[in-house]
Chain A
């Protein structure tokens, strides 16, 4: 085979790479259009009062999505409250405090953590964590939103740690040197100088963690009990909940194609998309408002 001219070769490679780049946009657009096409009929087949009602019971044409939206938010917020302090502390420890040999052990272990399949975690949660939650918290059942939060926190941790750690690592050495030279202690340097400088990167890590948590399905379906109840009281975190993802996963397999229920499940997918988008937008806004800093790049 004759070798191609360098210019032609360059052209081919560039075209292929460009196509690959655009394909991501293309696929996202296609998926969104598909979601819209299948989900939109729900908004005129079902009255809005029903669609945003408080009872989800598709067998009787009750398609209230509030319990599902609030269930997803409850589990996700719980997960972030657990994962954020733990993830941040781990990132600080690994990057700022741990000796080199320990860091070399910890980093790959954290990556292994990310590789555990969620169904395995879900099974673990159902069989071992749920009974412990029931016994030690004195709640009627261990299958609660909190148990789901625990599982999700565990799953979001590797993401939060890795991204936060990179952000901390990217803070210039001069910042630390300056702080130490001014007489700040090690801890003061970390807390007052390094973390604020790495803030936007840390927030992105948390956002990615939330993204992982709100979209997670299998583990949540196995440990949250899937009761579509409205979280009216403060203790709702320790009661069962049903998330949007678990609802889609549990019901899509059995639904008759083209039925109202089928369209409503896609509409729930659209709602999930919207909720995730709002969370991301709010986070970007927070990052931008704080002004760009070194140590982490802006989103979107």
Chain B
């Protein structure tokens, strides 16, 4: 039995080892099949798939292969040169940029859409609005009962994505630390780190104590979205395309695609299409926020 387990492990290691080397860097050869490797953010994976599929309809000679794994994974793959485009729900870190340059690769940033982070609770939760300082206190563990923010006498159960997700990092910086660079507050150790968006929604759906956050595109009807105010005394705003565009919803971010150097050929054409009318219509369809003036 042990031997079999080890064999399986060897097979897995072999697979993993081989997998890393098959990524081919797409080059635009006129008239021939072109493959573009696209990898990264799980938040953006559905969006990237929808783009790739729609683009395949109008440009069948260009094949876009999309994989998820997380923003960090995508950027790491870009640094190793195994993908052409990396999707990221956070900007590239300085150390990642340094790693890339050490590898002779210059990552170029393109903003392709925006995303609102919605705060979700159980539908029976009477709390309708929270301020950013209240959210910071809740997620850092200073407030542990719903009563303290105008709810029922219930313990608060915190839900978050895993710490390697771009959404997690964004939420830590913009909400838990309230955008202050010198702030070293962390998530409460009682925060449940869920491996997937589905994990968060499953728990929010059935647990009246829960509070979680996720990209607006992932919020389903059976969760309640809480309105957010930047501070006490300011208006509470619900996340929506309009409120993200006019900047009134406070927890919104840009979504990025990174390319190796200035994009050229097939990759440039694909990026231009993404940022054009058709690409941005798909952004809106999937619950993300299109770029300014792209409609």
The chain A residues found within 8 Å of chain B, CB to CB, are: 23-24, 27-28, 31, 55, 57-60, 67, 126-127, 130-131, 134, 140-143, 221-222, 225-230, 239-240, 242, 250-251, 253-257
Q: A59-B169, A227-B193 are in contact. List 15 more A-B contacts (CB 8 A).
A: A24-B6, A31-B9, A126-B199, A131-B206, A141-B210, A143-B192, A221-B195, A222-B195, A226-B195, A227-B189, A230-B189, A250-B195, A256-B72, A256-B76, A256-B79
> Are B69 and A253 in contact, with the CB atoms below 8 A?
yes
**Cα distance, A57 to B189, chains bound together (Å):** 9
- Bound Cα distance A142, B99 (Å): 42
Question: Chain B contacts of A230 at CB under 8 A?
Answer: 189
Are B190 and A226 neighbours in the complex by a CB distance under 8 Å? no
The answer to whether A142 touches B6 (Cβ under 8 A) is no
Q: Is the CB of B155 within 8 A of A140?
A: yes
Are B203 and A31 touching (Cβ within 8 A)?
A: no
Q: Do B207 and A134 have beta carbons less than 8 Å apart?
A: yes
B189 touches A24 (CB 8 A): no
Q: Which 10 A-B pairs have the closest CB atoms?
A: A254-B164, A225-B192, A140-B155, A229-B189, A226-B193, A141-B157, A27-B6, A254-B72, A254-B70, A131-B206
| B192 pairs with A226, CB closer than 8 A | yes
The prevalent SS among residues of B at the interface is mixed
Query: From residue A253, how far is it (CB to closest CB) to chain B in Å?
Result: 6
| Distance, CA A111 to CA B169, complexed state (A) | 44
Query: Given contacts A226-B193, A242-B193, is CB(A59)–CB(B73) below 8 Å?
Result: no
A227:B9 contact, CB within 8 angstroms: no
- In angstroms, Cα B157 to Cα A75, docked, is 20
Question: Across the interface, do A58 and B163 meet the contact criterion of CB distance under 8 Å?
Answer: yes
Number of interface residues of B (CB under 8 A): 40
Q: Which residues on B sit within 8 Å (CB–CB) of A134?
A: 206-207
- Residue pairs across A and B with Cβ atoms less than 8 A apart, 11 shown, are A27-B7, A28-B6, A31-B6, A57-B163, A140-B155, A141-B209, A141-B210, A226-B195, A227-B191, A240-B190, A253-B69
Interface 1/0 per residue, B202-214 and A, CB below 8 Å: 1100110110000
Closest to A225 in B: B192
Residues from chain A with a CB closer than 8 A to the CB of B79 are 256
Across the two chains, which residue of chain A brings its CB closest to B163?
A59
Give the residues in chain A near B203, CB-CB below 8 Å: 130, 141, 143
- Structural contact, A240 and B2, CB atoms closer than 8 A: no
Knowing A143-B192, A228-B189, A250-B195 are in contact, say whether A24-B2 is a contact too (CB < 8 A).
yes
Q: Does B293 contact A (CB under 8 A)?
A: no
Query: Would B199 and A222 count as touching, CB distance under 8 A?
Result: yes
Give the distance to chain A from B8, nearest Cβ to Cβ, in Å: 11
B233 within 8 A of A: no
Given A59-B163, A239-B190, answer yes or no on A142-B207 (Cβ-Cβ < 8 Å).
Answer: yes
A256 to B172, CA, bound (A): 21
Residues of A within 8 A of B190 (CB): 227, 229, 239-240
- Complex: A83 Cα to B107 Cα, angstroms: 53
Q: How far is the CA of A60 from the CA of B186 in the complex (A)?
A: 9
Chain A nearest CB from B76 CB (Å) reads 5
| B241–chain A nearest beta-carbon distance, Å | 30
Task: Name the residue on B nearest A239 (C-beta).
Answer: B190
Question: B106 within 8 Å of A by Cβ?
Answer: no
Complex contact B10–A27 (CB within 8 A): yes
In angstroms, Cα B188 to Cα A140, docked, is: 15
Q: Are B194 and A24 in contact (CB under 8 A)?
A: no
- Do the beta carbons of A57 and B192 come within 8 Å of each other? no
For residue A148, give the distance in angstroms from its CB to the closest CB of chain B. 13
Any A CB within 8 A of the CB of B3: yes
Cα–Cα distance between A222 and B195 once the two chains are bound (Å):
8
Q: How far is the CA of A254 from the CA of B79 in the complex (A)?
A: 13
